[in-house]
Homo-oligomer: A and B are copies of this chain.
């Protein structure tokens, strides 16, 4: 089992709160785009759920055919279906325009602490 396979096996044990979506080329079987959404269960607001979108990537060879927007739409739909009241994500400032096209609005600032 490769490290990636072992990682996916581990992720599968976490249930539906760690969801990974992919777009696959039906001919080659190659993954063209992927992204994930982490479902947070809050203890405030009556135990509501929030989706955190992470790691949206599109294969360089498959750009300009809107696969990024399709994978984001898919993750948003998953989060909505599972009962989230909102979806959030952090991105570099130059991706604001892309996410606005996907229906997002700029909200806050992200802070990070690296170990």
Residues of A within 8 A of B (CB): 3-4, 6-8, 10-11, 14, 17-18, 20, 36, 38, 40-44, 46-47, 52, 54-55, 76, 80, 84-93, 96, 99-100, 102-115
Contact = CB atoms under 8 A, between A and B. Distances in A.
Identical subunits present: 2
Contacts of A93: 108-109
A109 B106 contact: yes
Given A38-B38, A42-B55, A10 B112 contact: no
A85 B47 contact: no
A-B pairs with the 4 shortest C-beta distances? A7-B47, A104-B111, A107-B112, A108-B110
A53 to B, nearest CB: 9
A113 B78 CA distance: 13
Contacts of A36: 42-43
Contacts of A80: 115
